Amino acid sequence: MRLYINQAGYLPGSIKTVILAEEADKQKKHEFMAEKVIRIYPQGDETCILEKKAEYFGLDEASGDDIWRADFSELTQDGIYRIKDEEGNAVSVRVHEKIYDVMNQILCKALYYQRCGMELEEPYAGIFKRKSCHENQAVLLEDYGKLGTEAEGTVKWFDVRGGWHDAGDYGKYTTAAAAALAHILYAYEFFPESFGASLNIPESGNGMPDILNECLYELRWLLKMQMEDGSVCHKVTSMRHANFVMPHEDKRQMILFPASSMAAADFAAIMALAYRVYRNYDRQFAGQALEAAKKAWDWLEEHPEFTGFQNPEGCNTGDYADTDDQDERLWAAAELYRVTGDEKYLACAGKFVEKVSDLTAMGWTDVAGFAGWAFLEAEIKKNSRGTAETDKEITDQREVSLRTRFRNSFLKEAEKILKIQEQCGYFAALKRDDYGWGSNMVLLNRAMISGTAYLLCSEKRYREAVTKQMDYLLGVNAVGYSYVTEVGFYSCRNPHNRVAAADGIGYSIPGFVVGGPNEHPADEKAEWLIVPGTPPMKCYLDIWECHSLNEITIYWNSLAIFAAAFLECFAERQ
Ligand code: 9MR
Ligand code: ZN
């Protein structure tokens, strides 16, 4: 029997479940599986303080496991405990009021380690200190072929230093960056008090919350991705991914790839949001951000057609391809309306919303849910600790109807998510077929939707849904891993991250969310090692070569940041 708990720990008031699992034996008759008992002891003490029944859930399809579950929510005192089953299997569990406060700091600090174009100095980076990287200027794709020829003199050079490396690779991608920033900046707007701690980064103590300092590093880079005509480049990467070397050893030529309408619209939206968030801290930057947002919007108006992006031949870095830009345009309109109050944006939002099918998506491909957050801001802040600035009475019927539409979409989707969770023995918000590349992203996206539903209607079951997603991420899953590097007693240590593979340290920078189980492995090592027919929740390996299982990205961390900030905000609610 295997026992699974959240390895980071539980908030005193939260719902707590231990899962007992064993690989299903097809010969056994499931209807007659007996109940089991678990006992809980304080660490280092043999006096049982709580005895609970573990009820048989049944066969869990995604893992192929027989599952029993015991609720131990009564354990509300801070402390470390041992949970034992009748066979003597045991696991340690922590209960502490600061679990998600600390979790959030670790997840946020990980972003600092992704910084490009500056040295990571020992006082902030400790053993993970490293030299500055990617200092050289970039060229436009159209000029790339001229390098090393007679025409080299006519090549234009661009300074695109700064920002975060996207993931385990050293590329920097506009739509991916916008999604990551959105998760974090909205989390900051909704739960500002969850971001009080110092992250020990070079800017700490300058009067701005550290999470905003960290995001500003990314935003200042993002500004450089805008061209003079207002368009925004889709990405800046080398033609081929870097070798597995430290970032400062990667000397490949950086290329600015062509603009896309998704990049321009995401850029407009995130810069408008940045204006709101930063105007009280850094007026100059805020002003620049708003101006850049409007310029990108004007470009979009001049280019109403879809401008997609596809890698040119020979390029193997991420393409973050999309087939539609209506949701991105919707988000840009929503944010610009929120900051300017200009009706023209509201009218556009009303037009774009008709063309978007999923109004709750909040990833790099589909972003309409962010528009929902923008419209529902005042309502959401009433229930979180953020203070609404714009809680005016809404008289414009178009806005009222947009709000209702988003509200209903979030609540409807959250209801579906609860159903998915109910069907999974591990309470994961993933269906049998949802275990693809970055399955942890799908799960955490759903956690954000559940969280949004809670913010809209205060129904406890939605808050518990978020708790359970974080439980899954942090150890309540069929392989028993905490999918956050170096957090927990059995966590991933070998993420697909060029830095981790090249730094020779032997363990990982803490606080990175890895992609997670993938039933369709797409890298050679995983294809060899994952035996066909392995249940989807078990298609995972903590091996650095397995990029389709074990990569890290900024926009997976940012999702967990949102969820952790949410749980920290409601830590005191029972
Ligand atoms: O998450 C992306 C996955 O869905 C794609 O199939 C894969 C191949 O293009 O790319 C993944 O995204 C990666 C991106 O291309 C580059 N940076 C790291 C991303 C996460 O693995
Ligand atoms: Zn770099």
Q: pLDDT tens for residues 239-256?
A: 999 999 999 999 999 999
Sheet bearing 17-23, strands edge to edge: 2-4, 17-23, 65-71, 50-60, 36-42, 79-85, 90-95
Ligand 1 pocket check: which of 241, 553, 556, 559 to mutate, most ligand atoms within 8 Å of Cβ? 553
- 3-state class of 281 per DSSP? coil
Using only the alpha carbons of the chain, give its radius of gyration: 24
In tens, the pLDDT along 159-203 reads: 999 999 999 999 999 999 999 999 999 999 999 999 999 999 999
The Cα 147–Cα 37 span in angstroms is 70
Q: Which amino acid, 481?
A: Y
Interval between CA 419 and ligand 1 midpoint (Å): 29
- Which residues keep their CB under 5 angstroms from ion ligand 2? 116, 133-134, 247
pLDDT at 389: 60
* Average pLDDT value for residue range 62-75: 97
7-29 per-residue burial string, b: 16 or more CB within 10 A, e: under 16: bbbbbbebbbbbbbbeebeeeee
Give yes or no: 45 in active site: no
Three-state SS annotation for 15-81: CCEEEEEEECCCCCCHHHCCCEEEEEEECCCCCCCEEEEEEEEEEECCCCEEEEEEECCCCCCCEEE
CB 163 within 8 A of CB 218: yes
Model-level pTM?
Answer: 0.98
Cα of first residue to Cα of last residue in the chain, in angstroms, is 31
Interval between CA 439 and ligand 2 midpoint (Å): 27
What contacts 541, CB < 8 A, 6 or more positions away? 525, 526, 529, 530, 549, 550
- The closest alpha carbon to 553, from 523, 511, 505, belongs to 511
The Cα 352–Cα 5 span in angstroms is 44
In tens, the pLDDT along 322-353 reads: 999 999 999 999 999 999 999 999 999 999 99
* Average pLDDT value for residue range 362-369: 97
Ligand 1 atom having least distance to the Cα of 522: 6
In tens, the pLDDT along 465-494 reads: 999 999 999 999 999 999 999 999 999 999
Give yes or no: 391 in active site: no
Pairing of strands 17-23, 2-4: antiparallel
Sheet bearing 138-140, strands edge to edge: 157-158, 138-140, 255-256, 235-237, 172-173
The Cα 24–Cα 120 span in angstroms is 48
Q: What number of other Cβ atoms are within 10 A of residue 533's Cβ?
A: 6
pLDDT at 411: 98
Ligand 1 binding pocket includes 516 (Cβ within 6 Å): no
Interval between CA 415 and ligand 1 midpoint (Å): 29
